[in-house]
Amino acid sequence: MGLPAGAATTASRVSVVIRGGGEDTVDSLAVAPASVPSGSVTFVVRNKGRIGPAKVYGVANNLLVHELVVLKTSLPPGKLPRTSGKPGAINYTRAVEVGRVAPPLVVSPLRTRTVTLNLKPGHYVLISNLEDDYLRGAHAAFHVTG
């Protein structure tokens, strides 16, 4: 049975926590729940990223910005095509953002931001795609059911 005309629906709420940063570290992107019904989905994104130890490059408590990118794809999270920076520039490896459903949501260090998207049924991959975040493991599968 459907909702009466004009009735409001409640968005599914999804927690995303992004951790990590710095050279030779592992990043992570955790999502809970990993599956929601189609429709309005609110992602609550917390950035717990920090670059390495207390002092990096002579700067105390150097923190790292992360982002949430939502991609609709049939590929597994760690198998997205990748691209590298231009020769002569800082050479970061990023995932190719084919199937991106909205602009990236940039989240400052130790902050929380939200975004609400209307998602159709299917398989999605959530990533942080700044610098080498994706390559270091900041990705997770996400499913939207019909």
Q: Is the pTM of this model over 0.85?
A: no
For residue 61, pLDDT beyond 80: no
Write the CA distances from 27 to 51, 77, 87, 127, integer angstroms. Answer: 10, 13, 25, 11
Mean of the pLDDT values across residues 57-70?
A: 71
CA 94/CA 129 separation, integer angstroms:
6
Domains plus CATH for the chain?
Answer: 12-145 (2.60.40.420)
pLDDT of residue 80: 95
Q: Catalogue the E-assigned strands of 4-56.
A: 12-19, 28-32, 35-37, 39-48, 55-56
Better pLDDT: 122 or 110: 122
For residue 131, the model assigns a pLDDT of: 78
Contact, 26 vs 137, CB < 8 A? Answer: yes
Give dist(CA 107, CA 64) in Å, integer: 9
